[in-house]
Amino acid sequence: MAWVVLVVSGLFEAGWAVSLKMSNGFTRLWWTVSFAVTALISFAGLAWAMKQLPAGPAYAVWTGIGAALTAVIGMIWLGDGVSTLKLVSLGLIVSGVIGLNLAGGGH
């Protein structure tokens, strides 16, 4: 269950990142409210999941999902440029997160 909460929290991380962009420096009320709500949900989920999961892989999954999804949203809906290097870099982020999880905790 902790992994499910963590993945959902990563989705909300992308939500707060996009909301932060759209808030235009906290000058647009509803985007600012969206930022606050999605950030609270994202951090609360991360905090809950990290009570049960190793810190490194959990944080990597959370940030990896958030960063990759935010970049994709930027490219599709926010007018960010798309390039082969960006797509390869997104693949490397995903590969790194998978690699950390496959490496295990190793105490």
Query: What does DSSP assign to residue 25?
Result: T
Query: What is d(CA 44, CA 50) in angstroms, rounded to the nearest whole number?
Result: 10
Note the pTM of the prediction, 2 decimals.
Answer: 0.88
Q: What angle do CA 95, 39, 31 make, to 5 degrees?
A: 110
Query: What is d(CA 19, CA 29) in angstroms, rounded to the nearest whole number?
Result: 11
Q: Would you write out the chain's pLDDT as a tens digit for each of its 107 residues?
A: 999 999 999 999 999 999 999 999 999 999 999 999 999 999 999 999 999 999 988 999 999 999 999 999 999 999 999 999 999 999 999 998 888 888 875 44
